[in-house]
Structure 1
Amino acid sequence: MGLSCDFNQLLQLESTETLVLTVNNRFARRLLAQLQHSLLGQKKAMAVPDIMPFSAWLRQVNDDLTFSDNKAPAAYLLDSFSRLYVWEQVIYEQEPEQSLLIDVPQAAKMAAEADQLIDEWGLQIEPETHTGDSARFMQWRQAYRAHLEQYDLDDVNRATERVAQALEAGDYIPTWRHVVLVGFHEISPRLQRMLDALLMHGVRYYFYRAETRDQTHCERIQTSSPDAEWRLAARWAAQQLRENPQGCYAIVALELEQQAAFAHRVLAHELAPRTAGDKFFAWNIAVGRPLGQWPLVRAALNWLTVLTQVHAGEVRGATMGAALLSGYCVGAQTEKSQRARLDVLWRTQQKNRLDLVQLDEAIQNCEQLGVAWRAVRDYLKGLTTALTVSQWVPHLRELLRLLGFPGDVSLDSHNYQAMKAFDQRLTQFGRLAPIFGALTLTQVVQMLARFMHETLFQPQRDASARLDVLGLLEAEGGQWDAIWVIGVTDQVLPATPSPNPFIPYAVLRAAQAPRSTPERELQWARGMFQALQNATPHLICSYACQDNGQALRPSPLIEGLPEQICPDPLTTTISKGVRLAQLEDHQGPPVQKDEKIYGGTAVLDRQARNPLWAFVNYRLHAQRLAEYEDSGQLRLVRGTFLHLALEYVWQAISPRTSTQLLQEHHAGRLGDLIESAIDKAAAQTLFALPAVIKQLECQRAKQVLTSWFELETERAPFEVVALEQKHHLPGFAATMRVDRIDRLEDGSYLLVDYKTTKVNKNYTAWLRARPIELQLPIYAALLETQNKPVAGLVFGFLHYACALGGYGGDQAPLTSTETKQFSQQFRDWDELKQHLQTQVWALKDEFLQGVARNQVIDPNDLRYCDVLPFLRLEQEYEQDET
């Protein structure tokens, strides 16, 4: 049976005969710091016992067992990454047909956990208790262990079991007389076996008992939301540090990983100096993020991924663009504008795939990168197809060196530490050769990226920081002057049980295995809450009453504490009146006479939808970066293709009249004209598409155009007088284009705009007080100024069911799909035409005058807006409500 041991009793044990085992590195560091602190002001030395984490001691014992005849370890010990990789391979082998239906990486993690639980807690699963999942898992487990035996591999679970058996069999004899366990709240059956074996060898074991506080002042605070909790806690920390700069304080967040980014922002705001003479207070957030997400490491992985694609003969545009923008290579600072322009160009051109010859030529525009790129290309030519991981690592280092990684910028502390961690992990990755075997360059870089993304990295703690922001586990064993705990709700403390699905629940419940039952979670929560009370004389626990509309309740562990309701600092009223200056900036500078405007009819259309949108696009020349692979781009290409094919058909008909069209149709030549036009248009517009897609688009176009010209032959007589005609509004420099103009028998004109969509009612937007979809109304306004009467504005819907829709007089050839019902405010076509003309001139004047109101009539008008963040509509709506 273990004895109790406090700090003073630990000091009295003979250090050379004592081993201190902690649950993790954090406890080991804190105990060493406590030993150092006990010597402050004393001119003497102290013999310190061996203090190490339990996992480190297990590795040490396994090393000692190397010389044992009976319990010698395997040739290679799997780390956590390679262990999961082996589990995944086993599952793929055992489930060749079902693997597509299984989340194999997640199943591997749960299987590894189940394997550990069975041995650690001595679980006995009888045949009658098996579920379908547990029975299948036992087959995986048997295959996994056979794999380890076959390749002479060990994992942590097997290594731990070997130590337990060696202690029980006397194959390992400890050299110390005392073992002190620090931070162990529970003793698993396997650990108890080890402790019993130590007693058998004459070794006493003790449970370290930290100093408990007689009284800890505890209180709870209710806030309106989780964000308000953080703002209150950060303001409290700032106040404590200003009043006592030498104090030590902590904010403990029960869900820190999800809230870390917001915590950084709030703390940076509250702890920043208020005046020039104020002190800046540093803080530490004890949460790591995957090493592969740090910018420097992400850049290295981006460049290596590009090189794998170069080695394979084809580079994805998105991958190359990400590498160019991520930097951390030669000339990253001096050439960043040239590299950004390349990225924008490829996005605009929808370069999903980059030809290597064209890529080499493009990179030569960046002088420094061009030199490095040529060296890398030459180096890649000498690489073989498959090598082991240990053979690949030197090549990966050399490739990065040739690219100038990590660039010519000075690294700050965090980047320097990330660089060092990346180098160390790359070396460690090279030691995984026995696991992966021979890999291609593509495979090894993919595996390296996964390895880096599953490695957590956290920069070293700032020694000057007096505020620690950490999770519940990290807070255990520490000491602070005051602690604020965030998110103490009944959903988190105690947590919801999460039993392993690969072990029958009845077996887990009987053993009271971790994370398996509500009782087990409540027991753990009580222990952690007691640890928090022992860590400080002043404990504040807060919870939000709701989160995004979901009601929250306080944890049962804090129900008896006195409660205070605190408002969100953002909503508190300022007691002292402050004069606010308000500026409504809805007016930009007028368009200058020599200023060129690019955008065509879209300029006035966006001015009608939202004047600020038009100003940002066409005066500030700002727009969202295009996506490399945008499905919407295919629709644009299709539209250009069909427009051009229609133009070629009409160019082949002479004269371009409905009468001649009928003659071509009756003579059977129209089909040949359509096919010839499609071939010519496809050669000009579809050349970048895969051959199969190009073929399908041509087949579709033949059906659509055949249907369209059948509709055209049913119309009243007309003559096509213009195709794709350019024009300018008076006093407006933007170039505009109309798809087609027909002249009817009475001499009036019909304006046609092709739409490559199904029939819709976009033209009903002309009935609004501020109309949109202005391509046709703009040109109608221009013709009316030239005394050319306009009979109608028509959309030609180029789809499988073609139609003509719009508004016009009786002579306009609208199909039955349009009801021709005008709004009550327009008596006839002439009145609507006058309304549209008036609005076109008004919108033109608005734009030329620089009007840039952030005005939206219908939210659907901004469906395709590419500068929504610039408009800040949420803020506008809030101001309107107030």
Structure 2
Amino acid sequence: MQGISRQALFTAWKSAPADAPVLCATRRLADDLVRDYARQRHGEGATAWRAPDCRHWRAWLTDRYAEHALAEARAGRTAPRLLSDAEARTLWRAVVEDATRNRPLLQTPGMSRLAAEAWQSAHDYDITLPLRLADDEDASAFDAWTRTFRDRLHALGAVTGAELPALLAESVRAGTLAVPGRLVIAALDRTTPAQQALLDTLAEAGSRLERLTPDEPVTPAISHQPCRDPGAELDVTARAIREHALRAPDARIGVVVPDLGGRLDALRRRFDAVLCPWLRPEDDPARRPYAVSQGDALAVQPVVATALAWLDWACSPGGVAIEDACRCLRSPYWLGAEHPAWLAGAEHTLRDRGFERVTPATAARALEYAEAPVALSAPLRGLVPDREQAPPSVWSQRFAALLDALHWPGVLDSAEFQAQRAWNEALGDFARTDAVSGRISARAALSRLRDQLNDQPFQPQGGDTRIQVMGLLEAAGQHFDTLHVLGMDETAWPPGARPVALIPETVQRAAGVPQASADGQLARARAITGELLQSAPDIVLSWATTIDEQPARLSPLLPAPGAPAEPAASAHPPAWQAQRPATEGWQDARAQPPPPGTALRGGERRLGEHAECPFRALAHHALAADAPAEPEPAPDARERGVLAHEIMAAIWRRLGDSTALGRLDAAAQRDLVGECVDACLDERRQRAPHRFSDGVVAVESVRMQRHANALLDADRARAPFHVEWLEGADIDSDARRRDHELTVHGVPLRVRPDRVDLVPGFGRVVIDYKTGRAASAVGNTLSSPQLAVYAELVADCVGVAYAVLRAGDTGYAGLIDNDSVDALPALTPVEKLRRPAADVLDDKDWPAVRRLWDAQLAATAAGLRAGDARVAPLAGVCRRCDLQPLCRIHARDRLATADDGDAA
């Protein structure tokens, strides 16, 4: 085959581009040739020129098949329809699914992908199908799938891309397909038998084949760079590229990585840190000064992944997990991205109400609860799952309509726009699979579309980037000023045998499949190595001397280094990046004081949190900085606490006083408690059916009846009493709840005591229901001020009590005046207080307790009035605090420790 240099090819293109068509091994090489030609013409002053006919192998086959189909049509015959890649994948999946319906596979999409790969290999290497190997289970299964696949192709009157070389060769021999007078072959040095047969047929038919050769033979200067580990190799290469690019801005720099797919994330991370440290995560990736040939799957591109997530939500009648729903709502690719406050309010509502799974309609109600406009919630109500079956073309239209209603995708940067355009093309390809899919459900349609997008790589196109990162095969035929070849250690090059699945290795070796044997891989690796060493005048070979804690050496297929070199390690950041600028310390420990005369948000809870940590109280109650609640599969402690309050209020609203309780025998008491518990649970179930299922209601009913009966038994042992307040409201009134206004040392509060009992002859006892452990009423810090505040509100208060409804601990706990012990004997008289609680009192009587509480409330109120917002937690508070990422107290402590160490 005669050779032609790149410059001679460009000269031919100038005179008659159509007379010198080029067939390239890869799409990258085709783009590279066209780009170089355009660069040369532009340098010559040309402003317009005819585009050359330069195609990679698959595109060239498709164009020739279109010519064949046209020739057949002119002759009055109908050529078979060429299935697109999406149609072929869909047909293989349908075949495999039907064949394994009674023996379901774990990964049907993966198995259909392997079948398609085996089909392609069989046609590339002239392997006769079916294989007819009865003793091989995989081969027998593949034979059966192949027969079904062929039958369906015949019924459709279609062919696949794997069959094109043989079909076109037959068309050339029959004289149906016109052959080019000249065809330039670029980097097709390792052809498959099917490719070679087609090229030979073209040559026999009179086509002059020429091979693209380098303009001048290259004798490269090869340098070696051992590195301590793969991470150091990436760092060292990135720094070398940066220095070279700064010295020679116009130089073309190539980077070849054999296992690029496995190292892609690490490579981007380390190259970004060195080559573009200014690049932010939200920036357009096309702004990188380097281009990577191998992109991620189209399905994982953010704008496409969001579309799939919304469609998955729409196709899930039972909703999706709250994390997935909130991820959709927080996405920047829909109408709601312009209203983060309403979205945050909706998410807070969903989490606060314990939704584990969320439907679009539920999310719409949450948005309406957050007072979002109807235009924001209406699209969510339109995401109604369609249960009928329809062909893919119908589902493509419906999927597009659903996304349009959401105003997807919004304003896009360059890379996102390219991803959206690829999505539209993929949706069109999916719509054309009607003939091979039939009628399917929405879930099946979305699953097949997702598989198609996972199989479709995507790499955003930037400008004319001088730094190119590619895999081994993509480097074929390209030329650079400098080439860095990474990962060329003895464990990776030559690679081991990797036979195609479903076809026996013996069959593949007999057919000459290079990947099927170590000898074939060795020969292939030698050929690729020779091509690499002719790709640039300056080549750097690097490898890791340690891989997975095992020593490694340079591949024996590459020129050996001279004198041994010390392996390079990951260096410290360059001086311009490592210098730490002088910093100025500044503490903002003052917040805006609460407006005078306005009730403090959070009530007595804020007083308690302020005593524990001023910043925590401010963040929770003034800034609404609560961490999102994580829904649990059953009612959490807060819900159980609210339920306990409702049940006990319902019981005492029915009883009213101890006399009514005394008139009940044990059976009547159990009946009363059971009625109140069931009524409260039924109300809860109506308000939150997602939290109170039949099983949960049954468990909670037994638990709450046990606790309520135990607490009523404790009430029977008390002196006669009358319940005055329930949830702050008079028991004789119609109100269920009432907030009371109270000013505590200049701080207005709204408070609502759970219950207040009047005990004739003694006074009033304030009761607060607890489903957890009861806190101590007296201490150095008043971190639980509810009882102290309620004591200020209630006249003639002689005691405060926690009514504990807790397994193994149900009863009363608290403090009572020494002279009023009989009012509630379960409480501790002040004179019986022990250390350390007794040590903070100036005397062991009830007035001393009230004086202590007053002083503690005064100190807390003074801090609130002054806007104290210090990060000053009491011991143990941080362990149960959700604000550590906000206050960063542990980061501050680590910094202080580091500074102390530096000073030492």
Q: TM-score range by the shorter chain?
A: 0.7 to 0.9
Aligned to 1:435: 436
- Given that 1:484 and 1:539 are in contact with CA atoms closer than 8 Å, whether structure 2 keeps it comes out as yes
**1:20 Cα deviation after fit:** 3.4
The one-letter amino acid paired with 1:153 is A
- Given that 1:313 and 1:356 are in contact with CA atoms closer than 8 Å, whether structure 2 keeps it comes out as no
Deviation string 1:453-501 (CA, Å, 9 cap, x unpaired) is 65443332213x4434445544444333334456666666566765444
The one-letter amino acid paired with 2:647 is A
Q: Which protein shows a greater Rg?
A: 2
The one-letter amino acid paired with 1:669 is A
> Of 888, 894, 900, which aligns to 1:871?
888
Aligned to 1:823: none
> Of 157, 161, 168, which aligns to 1:156?
161
SS, match of residue 457 in structure 1? coil
**1:78 Cα deviation after fit:** 2.7
- Paired with 1:684 and 1:491, the residues of 2 have a C-alpha distance of 67
Q: For the structure 1 residues 98 and 712, does the alpha-carbon distance in structure 2 shift closer, same or farther, using more than 3 Å as the test? A: farther
- Paired with 2:743 and 2:570, the residues of 1 have a C-alpha distance of 54
Deviation string 1:229-275 (CA, Å, 9 cap, x unpaired) is 655555544433333333333455534543476357525744689xx
- Paired with 1:118 and 1:215, the residues of 2 have a C-alpha distance of 39
Report matched runs for 1:191-270 at 5 Å: 191-198=195-202, 201=205, 208-210=212-214, 213-220=218-225, 222=227, 226=231, 233-252=237-256, 254=260, 255=262, 257-259=264-266, 262=269, 265-266=272-273, 269-270=276-277
Aligned to 2:623: 620
- Given that 1:738 and 1:753 are in contact with CA atoms closer than 8 Å, whether structure 2 keeps it comes out as no
- Given that 2:489 and 2:554 are in contact with CA atoms closer than 8 Å, whether structure 1 keeps it comes out as yes
> Of 139, 144, 147, which aligns to 2:149?
144
Deviation string 1:826-866 (CA, Å, 9 cap, x unpaired) is 9677469999989999888777763443879679815x726
- Given that 2:678 and 2:701 are in contact with CA atoms closer than 8 Å, whether structure 1 keeps it comes out as no
- Given that 1:749 and 1:790 are in contact with CA atoms closer than 8 Å, whether structure 2 keeps it comes out as yes
Q: For the structure 1 residues 527 and 648, does the alpha-carbon distance in structure 2 shift closer, same or farther, using more than 3 Å as the test? A: farther
**1:214 Cα deviation after fit:** 0.8
Aligned to 2:828: none
Aligned residues: 837
Report matched runs for 1:21-100 at 5 Å: 21-34=23-36, 50-66=53-69, 67=71, 75-99=80-104
Aligned to 1:817: none
Deviation string 1:328-357 (CA, Å, 9 cap, x unpaired) is 667975x66556655555555567345599
Which deviates more, 70-79 or 41-50?
41-50
SS, match of residue 623 in structure 2? coil
- Given that 2:301 and 2:419 are in contact with CA atoms closer than 8 Å, whether structure 1 keeps it comes out as yes
The one-letter amino acid paired with 2:220 is Q
Report matched runs for 1:353-368 at 5 Å: 353=359, 355=361, 362=368
Which consecutive unaligned segments of at least 5 residues does structure 2 have?
281-286, 729-738, 823-833, 843-848
Q: For the structure 1 residues 779 and 24, does the alpha-carbon distance in structure 2 shift closer, same or farther, using more than 3 Å as the test? A: same
Aligned to 1:457: 458
Q: For the structure 1 residues 553 and 858, does the alpha-carbon distance in structure 2 shift closer, same or farther, using more than 3 Å as the test? A: farther
- Given that 1:794 and 1:804 are in contact with CA atoms closer than 8 Å, whether structure 2 keeps it comes out as yes
Report matched runs for 1:631-710 at 5 Å: 631=633, 636-656=638-658, 664=664, 666=666, 668-690=667-689, 693-709=692-708
- Paired with 2:54 and 2:363, the residues of 1 have a C-alpha distance of 60
- Paired with 2:892 and 2:524, the residues of 1 have a C-alpha distance of 44
- Given that 1:331 and 1:369 are in contact with CA atoms closer than 8 Å, whether structure 2 keeps it comes out as no
> TM-score, structure 1 length as denominator?
0.74
SS, match of residue 227 in structure 2? strand
- Paired with 1:537 and 1:653, the residues of 2 have a C-alpha distance of 97
- Given that 1:166 and 1:172 are in contact with CA atoms closer than 8 Å, whether structure 2 keeps it comes out as yes
Q: For the structure 1 residues 856 and 225, does the alpha-carbon distance in structure 2 shift closer, same or farther, using more than 3 Å as the test? A: farther
The one-letter amino acid paired with 1:861 is R
Aligned to 1:190: 194
Q: For the structure 1 residues 151 and 597, does the alpha-carbon distance in structure 2 shift closer, same or farther, using more than 3 Å as the test? A: farther
Q: For the structure 1 residues 103 and 785, does the alpha-carbon distance in structure 2 shift closer, same or farther, using more than 3 Å as the test? A: same
Q: For the structure 1 residues 393 and 219, does the alpha-carbon distance in structure 2 shift closer, same or farther, using more than 3 Å as the test? A: same
The one-letter amino acid paired with 2:805 is G
- Paired with 2:802 and 2:544, the residues of 1 have a C-alpha distance of 58
- Paired with 2:334 and 2:229, the residues of 1 have a C-alpha distance of 47
- Say whether 1:850 aligns with 2:868: yes
Q: For the structure 1 residues 402 and 604, does the alpha-carbon distance in structure 2 shift closer, same or farther, using more than 3 Å as the test? A: closer
SS, match of residue 657 in structure 2? coil
- Paired with 1:872 and 1:518, the residues of 2 have a C-alpha distance of 58
SS, match of residue 220 in structure 1? strand
- Say whether 1:109 aligns with 2:113: yes
Aligned to 2:283: none
Aligned to 2:735: none
Q: For the structure 1 residues 64 and 808, does the alpha-carbon distance in structure 2 shift closer, same or farther, using more than 3 Å as the test? A: same
Aligned to 1:821: none
The one-letter amino acid paired with 1:140 is W
SS, match of residue 30 in structure 2? helix
The one-letter amino acid paired with 2:879 is D
Q: For the structure 1 residues 646 and 698, does the alpha-carbon distance in structure 2 shift closer, same or farther, using more than 3 Å as the test? A: farther
- Paired with 2:644 and 2:570, the residues of 1 have a C-alpha distance of 58
The one-letter amino acid paired with 2:871 is R
- Paired with 2:371 and 2:169, the residues of 1 have a C-alpha distance of 64
Which deviates more, 572-581 or 494-503?
572-581
**1:700 Cα deviation after fit:** 1.3
> Of 289, 292, 295, which aligns to 1:288?
295
**1:782 Cα deviation after fit:** 7.5
- Given that 1:317 and 1:354 are in contact with CA atoms closer than 8 Å, whether structure 2 keeps it comes out as no
Aligned to 1:822: none
Report matched runs for 1:766-777 at 5 Å: 775=784
- Paired with 1:684 and 1:806, the residues of 2 have a C-alpha distance of 30
Aligned to 1:481: 481
SS, match of residue 693 in structure 2? helix
- Paired with 2:625 and 2:481, the residues of 1 have a C-alpha distance of 51
- Given that 1:216 and 1:533 are in contact with CA atoms closer than 8 Å, whether structure 2 keeps it comes out as no
Aligned to 1:181: 185
Aligned to 2:879: 861
What percent of counterpart residues are identical?
A: 18
- Paired with 1:806 and 1:504, the residues of 2 have a C-alpha distance of 78
- Given that 2:250 and 2:466 are in contact with CA atoms closer than 8 Å, whether structure 1 keeps it comes out as yes
- Given that 1:796 and 1:802 are in contact with CA atoms closer than 8 Å, whether structure 2 keeps it comes out as yes
Which deviates more, 693-702 or 29-38?
29-38
- Given that 2:133 and 2:140 are in contact with CA atoms closer than 8 Å, whether structure 1 keeps it comes out as no
**1:743 Cα deviation after fit:** 11
SS, match of residue 682 in structure 1? helix
> Of 797, 805, 828, which aligns to 1:796?
805
Aligned to 1:556: 555
The one-letter amino acid paired with 1:797 is R
**1:53 Cα deviation after fit:** 1.5
Which deviates more, 352-361 or 534-543?
352-361
Aligned to 2:284: none
**1:530 Cα deviation after fit:** 5.0
Report matched runs for 1:379-528 at 5 Å: 388-390=391-393, 412-438=413-439, 451-452=452-453, 454-463=455-464, 465-484=465-484, 498-508=498-508, 513=513, 516=516, 528=528
- Given that 1:297 and 1:419 are in contact with CA atoms closer than 8 Å, whether structure 2 keeps it comes out as yes
Report matched runs for 1:291-370 at 5 Å: 291=298, 293-294=300-301, 325-326=330-331, 333=338, 341-342=345-346, 344-346=348-350, 348-349=352-353, 352-353=358-359, 355=361, 362=368, 369=375
- Paired with 2:857 and 2:549, the residues of 1 have a C-alpha distance of 49
**1:710 Cα deviation after fit:** 5.5
**1:105 Cα deviation after fit:** 1.5
> TM-score, structure 2 length as denominator?
0.72
